[in-house]
Amino acid sequence: MAFAENHDSSLIIDVRTPAEWETGHLTNAKHIEWQVIDKKITDLTKDKNTTIYVYCRSGNRSGKAKKILDQLGYTNVVNAGGIGEAQAFIQTLEN
């Protein structure tokens, strides 16, 4: 997935469990479980204007992660939904 490489200021974060992550994830995605995203997001970026795409299995946990990041003051967080939706969504951004 070239999107993250071409857009250095954006992040793709998989918020699923480690077991789910191990079964496969989007290329260039980082892994932070949604429950700890508030504690770990600054390991990836301290820039609150970074575009962040979050995804999970169905879109539920990524919605929770988005809400947490919004509350922390991140201004460009996108719930990309489930992994399949996220892949399709991010591919449309590449083109």
Q: What is the pLDDT of residue 84?
A: 94
- Whether residue 25 contacts residue 49, with contact meaning beta carbons closer than 8 Å, is answered with no
Q: What is the pLDDT of residue 93?
A: 80
pTM: 0.89
Helix (H) or strand (E) holding 48: none
Residue 56 designated active-site: yes
The one catalytic residue in 26, 56, 65, 90 is 56
Q: What is the pLDDT of residue 3?
A: 38
Q: How many domains does the chain have?
A: 1
Give me the mean pLDDT over the 74-95 stretch.
Answer: 91
Q: 21: domain CATH number?
A: 3.40.250.10
Give me the mean pLDDT over the 41-49 stretch.
Answer: 96
Q: Which domain holds residue 80?
A: 3-94
Helical pair 37-44 and 60-71, crossing angle rounded to 10 deg: 70
3-class DSSP state for residue 87?
Answer: helix
